[in-house]
Amino acid sequence: MGDGAIDLAAAAAERRQRASVVARGAASRRRRWELVGESALEWLIRLCGVSAIVFVFGIFFFVLREGAGFLFHGLNLRQFLFSTEWYPTSQSNVRYGVLALIVGTFSVTTLAMLIAVPFGLGAAVFVSEFCSRRMREGLKIVIELLAAIPSVVWGFIGLGVLNPLIQKVFRVPVGLNVLNGALLLALMSVPIMVSIGEDALKAVPDSYREAALALGATRWQIVYRVLLPAAKNGLLAAVLLGVGRAVGETMAVLMATGHAVNIPHSPFDPVRTLTATIAAELGEAAAGSQHYQVLFIIGILLFSITFVVNFTADLVVKGIRKR
Amino acid sequence: MVMTADSPGKKIEVDGLRLRYGAKEVIHGISFHVEPHEIFAIIGPAQSGKTSLLRCINRTIEFTAGTRVGGKVLVDGEDVQQVKSVYELRRRIGMVAPLPVGLPLSIYDNVAFAPRAAGVRGKDDLDGLIERCLRQAALWDEVKDRLDSLGTKLSGGQQQRLTIARALSHQPEVLCLDEFSIAIDPVTTMRIEDVLKELKNEMTIILVTNLVQQARRLASRTMFLWNGNIVEVDRNEVIFSDAPASKHTLDYVNGIFG
Ligand SMILES: Nc1ncnc2c1ncn2[C@@H]1O[C@H](COP(=O)(O)OP(=O)(O)OP(=O)(O)O)[C@@H](O)[C@H]1O
Ligand SMILES: [Mg+2]
């Protein structure tokens, strides 16, 4: 009886040992595969990161190559930047001045942001802090729908809805102007600001809200004394993404701003933007011609503008974060 | 502000208080009162409803969706559900949460938050108030040179004392401390306990604590709460004697709770 027990115990021990040897082999094989898989994944991720940089530089060099010939030989840079005369197809006296286009881009974008930032941030605060849960879900669906509308459709809304509306409300002869384009851009960038801004506000821990509540703060005091300071980085990112959307937008502003090369004196003047010019004229310009090259030089200009905007934004964000 | 310093009676009266989170009832109809200018301790194991009880008193419980409060909480005889301004009510009650929450503002602004929300603007008034509160919370010496830096960058224990200073900043009539010593070292804890003994002359203090000895040291009366029910509430001489009314109290106080 006693011997039997010992035998059993020994057998069990042996079995366990054998099992553990097998297991160890499997484990080491698995570990090797894990290692291979892990380094493969690491390389893949690195490749993705590098390719993003390569693409950006690739695009830049492509654009530069297309425009370089005329940019370095023949283009009067002073005229290009400071003249408002854009006559790229004139037979007798060709002039390539893009000042009006630059001013057009800036006026539409700036007005759009003046409209969109308060609305976007206000809506983000409302959705995240003042809404019942059911209403929030509904609003979020609407906002995501808004974000998904293609820009050509926005262009049609500008032509068909805003145009007559602006004519009627402001009693102006033409409704295709800075205001129209800015309203469209605002409508297009508000959804981005709302969803990113709401995320930023939701990321503020509830314990902050409750601590402020216990100190006798009203809901508004909680918003502007606690939430806005706590979420300022995220909110700034929301605004900047909205600006990015507005600067880069082409189709809608092409259709809605009246397409007249003109320095605007009021929001009711028609303008033309840099992006719209490229989109409208590239198809007609003969490949390799001066006109064609100038359009690419405008592309380089846009590139530089976005770069400067992003860079300053970066500095601003870093500055805020440091404080 | 009604001073009830010499009118004996009830600073806070809780009458048949029930609390539900959704379908789950966590406080089952409890009644007790807190006398003016006493330190009233609440002890009890985790999940017994101590924090929830405090949140019913200053009505921050309403912040959590799906809560239902039954019964009554009276402060100075006035039903908290019927006060004119819930914000003013909350300023009459200082609250120190168990996990320190430094608001993402400067140290100065943290302490100035409640006075400003109440409309105090003068720089001199604020400066004086803030220094006094930080001194009372035993934090002044450590932060007096960097009042402008972020409150969230303080250490855990310092943040806890910051929340105490903040709770004192609106000169509350009732101070509720919820396990304030969790993140504080014993030496600082003793310093704050001394402050509490002094503050008792100015206000009523409700002390929720996991440290039975702290309740014994500081309080004049202690309530033992267990699973949303009061096991016993009585003067410390009874609760911490050899013969409290309930066997459970004796076991819990002596650390041999099942
Ligand atoms: N926000 C909430 N939602 C749902 N249930 C909650 C919530 N807060 C607390 N509870 C529940 O209420 C009961 C009492 O919790 P409470 O935090 O009041 O206990 P406590 O006595 O403070 O415990 P501790 O000593 O751990 O702090 C617990 O069962 C808890 O699960
Ligand atoms: Mg608790």
pLDDT in tens, B4-17: 444 457 899 999 99
Query: What angle is formed at CA B168 by the lines to CA B153 and CA B199, rounded to 5 degrees?
Result: 125
- The arrangement of secondary structure in A79-322, i.e. its CATH architecture, is Orthogonal Bundle (1.10)
How high is the pLDDT of residue A110?
92
B48 lines ligand 1 (CB under 6 A): yes
Check A210 against B90: CB less than 8 A apart: no
CA triple A69-A74-A75, angle to 5 deg: 90
Residue A180 identity (one-letter amino acid): N
Q: Between the CA of residue A166 and those of A116, A181, A257, A303, what are the distances in Å?
A: 18, 11, 12, 33
Give the other-Cβ count within 10 Å of B90's Cβ.
26
What Å distances lie between residue A28 and A15, A17, A19, A25, A35, CA to CA? 20, 16, 14, 5, 10
In the block, residue with structure tokens 């938050």: B113
Which residues are paired to B19 by β-bridges?
B27, B69
* Residues with C-beta atoms within 5 A of ion ligand 2: B 51
How high is the pLDDT of residue B153?
A: 87
Per-residue pLDDT reduced to its tens digit, B58-115: 999 998 888 999 999 999 999 999 999 999 999 999 999 887 788 888 999 999 999 9
- In this complex, the residue of A214, A221, A230 whose CB is nearest that of residue B95 is A214
Could you tell me if B33 and B41 are in contact, meaning their C-beta atoms sit under 8 angstroms apart?
no
Contact A109, A243 (CB under 8 A): yes
* DSSP-derived pairing of the beta strands B67-75 and B12-21: antiparallel
Inter-CA distances, A307 with A106, A136, A182, Å: 15, 36, 22
Q: What is the pLDDT of residue A8?
A: 55
Token pair listed for A115: 């409209």
Domain parsing of chain B, residue ranges: 2-99+174-253
- For chain B, what's the residue count? 258
> pLDDT digits over A64-77, tens only?
999 988 888 888 88
Cα separations in angstroms, A255 against A116, A158, A175, A182, B42: 20, 7, 11, 12, 70
B227 pocket-lining for ligand 1 (C-beta < 6 Å): no
> Is A225 within 8 Å of B117 when comparing Cβ atoms?
yes
Shortest alpha-carbon distance between residue B231 and chain A (Å): 28
pLDDT digits (tens, 9 = 90+) for B120-166: 888 888 999 999 999 988 899 999 999 998 888 888 888 888 999 99
Other CB atoms within 10 Å distance of the CB of residue A132: 9
C-alpha distances out from residue A237 to A75, A141, A310, Å = 38, 22, 11
The shortest CB-CB distance from B63 to any of A209, A221, A225 is to A209
The total of other beta-carbon atoms located within 10 Å of residue B119's CB is: 6
Distances (CA, A) of A193 to A116, A197, A230, A245, B43: 8, 6, 17, 10, 48
B214 close to B193: Cβ distance less than 8 angstroms? yes
- Region B46-65: what's the mean pLDDT? 92
* Residue A116 to residue B60: CA distance in whole angstroms: 35
- How many whole angstroms separate alpha carbon B214 and alpha carbon B41? 9
For chain A, which residues score pLDDT lower than 50? 1-4
B120 and chain A: CB distance < 8 Å anywhere?
no
> What are the residues whose beta carbons fall under 8 Å from the beta carbon of B245, sequence distance 6 or more?
B232, B234, B238
Phi, psi of B21 (to 5 degrees): -100, 105
Q: Are A217 and B166 within 8 A, CB to CB? A: no
Angle between helix A232-248 and helix A99-125 axes, rounded to 10 deg: 140
- For chain A, what is the radius of gyration of the CA atoms? 30
Q: Is the CB of B249 under 6 A from ligand 1?
A: no
Model confidence band, residue B55 (pLDDT cutoffs 50, 70, 90): very high
pLDDT the model gives residue B147: 92
Contact (CB, 8 A) for A98 and A86 = yes
Query: How distant is the Cα of B258 from the closest Cα of chain A, in angstroms?
Result: 33
What pLDDT does B8 receive?
Answer: 58
Q: Can you name the CATH fold of B2-99+174-253?
A: Rossmann fold (3.40.50)
Pick the range with the lowest mean pLDDT from B1-5, B116-120, B248-252. Answer: B1-5
Report the alpha-carbon distance of residue B75 to residue A253 in Å, rounded.
Answer: 62
Alpha carbons A238 and A223: distance in angstroms, whole number = 17
| A229·B101 Cβ contact <8 A | no
Instruction: Identify the pLDDT of residue B195.
Output: 87
A48 and chain B in contact, CB less than 8 A: no
Q: Are strands B78-79 and B67-75 parallel, antiparallel or unpaired?
A: antiparallel
pTM of the model: 0.78
Closest CA to B128 of B114, B142, B111: B111
3-state secondary structure of A191: helix
Note which residues in 208-227 of chain B have CB less than 8 A from chain A: none
Locus of tokens 């004196």: A265
- What whole-number distance in Å separates Cα of residue A103 and Cα of residue A273? 8
Which residue in chain B has the smallest CA separation from A132? Answer: B65
> pLDDT higher for A160 or B258?
A160
d(C-alpha B143, C-alpha B151), whole Å:
10
* Residue A245 confidence (pLDDT): 79
Probe ligand 1: pick from B52, B61, B231, max atoms within 8 Å of CB? B52
Residues 162-221 of A with CB under 8 A from B: 206-218, 221
| Structural contact between residues A85 and A97, judged by C-beta atoms closer than 8 angstroms | yes
Sequence-distant (6+) residues with CB within 8 A of B11 are B4, B33, B34, B35, B36, B37, B75, B76, B173, B174, B204
Q: Which CA distances in Å does B245 have to A195, B226, B249?
A: 58, 15, 8
**Mutation target vs B (from A131, A204, A215; most B CBs, 10 A cutoff):** A215
Q: Which residues of A touch B58 (CB under 8 A)?
A: 214
B174: β partners: B93, B204
Instruction: Fill in the DSSP letter of residue A283.
Output: T
Residue ranges of domains in chain A: 1-73, 79-322
Measured between beta carbons, the chain A residues lying within 8 angstroms of B87 are 216-218
Taking CA atoms, what residue in B is nearest to A215?
Answer: B114
